[in-house]
């Protein structure tokens, strides 16, 4: 066997050695027990008044901050808190309300289009299944998961950049893409913590386990973390 062929045969074993190892079930439970003790009832940071306005807010939040979305939707939701009212308001008016948000033209168009579909196909009600939600304009898997979790209390794991980072750093659900992490969280997160899991992970990633400068000194998971990004001292 040539040296080249021997190297090819060795490569898979090396890859298995360096691949992040998922944390044990007991270790995952300890992580979420700490999250719960520190924040028993975590909340999302988008403002909304019902399932419809939550759906619109999440659609608008793509590539935007929750703070920015809340500023834009405060007056909008006061006058248009149903698909019928939003549709009557019209695309131009919706666009004017959300123009401070990135991609506001496309998002305003999607909001009107999803209102039309909600009225035509769902009786003006926000559907309660992922498949139906994903059929709406501007709604992807992450948006559907957020709505199902917050509005309808279903156990779903919406994976944004914060959840992806924390799930990998703490080895709760190591994965190379958001779907791998989501599937990993479905298997790893104990059911008793399932409803709040994605909020704990988002908030932890947003305010403590930050991308560039994680604030490890005040992290409640510090002693459990063995990430290469961990900052000591």
Judge whether 160 counts as a catalytic residue.
yes
Indicate which residue of 142, 176, 223, 226 is catalytic. Answer: 142
The answer to whether the CB of 224 falls within 8 A of the CB of 30 is yes
Judge whether 142 counts as a catalytic residue.
yes
Indicate which residue of 66, 71, 160, 210 is catalytic. Answer: 160
The answer to whether the CB of 58 falls within 8 A of the CB of 146 is yes
Alpha-carbon distance of 111 to 60, in angstroms, equals 8
35: its two tokens? 């999250």
Alpha-carbon distance of 110 to 118, in angstroms, equals 12
72-51-128-141 Cα dihedral, nearest 10 degrees: 20
- Report which of 68, 74, 49, 69 is spatially closest to residue 59, judged by C-alpha positions: 69
Active site amino acids: 142, 160
């Amino acid at each position: 066997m040539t040296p080249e062929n021997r190297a090819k045969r060795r490569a898979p074993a090396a890859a298995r050695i360096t691949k992040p190892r998922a944390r044990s079930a007991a270790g995952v439970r300890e992580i979420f027990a700490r999250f719960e003790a520190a924040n028993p009832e975590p909340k999302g940071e988008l403002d909304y008044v019902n399932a419809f306005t939550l759906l619109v807010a999440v659609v608008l939040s793509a590539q935007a901050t929750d703070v920015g979305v809340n500023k834009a939707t405060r007056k909008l939701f006061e006058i248009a808190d149903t698909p019928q009212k939003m549709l009557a308001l019209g695309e131009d008016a919706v666009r004017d309300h959300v123009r401070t948000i990135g991609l506001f033209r496309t998002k305003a168009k999607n909001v009107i289009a999803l209102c039309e579909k909600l009225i035509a196909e769902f009786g003006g009600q926000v559907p309660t299944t992922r498949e139906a939600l994903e059929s709406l304009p501007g709604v992807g898997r992450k948006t559907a998961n957020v709505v199902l979790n917050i509005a309808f209390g279903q156990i779903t794991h919406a994976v944004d950049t914060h959840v992806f980072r924390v799930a990998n750093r703490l080895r709760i659900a190591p994965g190379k893409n958001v779907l791998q992490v989501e599937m990993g969280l479905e298997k790893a997160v104990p059911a008793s913590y399932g409803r709040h899991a994605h909020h704990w992970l988002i908030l932890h990633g947003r305010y403590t386990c930050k991308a560039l400068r994680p604030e490890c000194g005040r992290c409640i998971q510090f002693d459990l973390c063995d990430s290469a990004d961990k900052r000591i001292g």
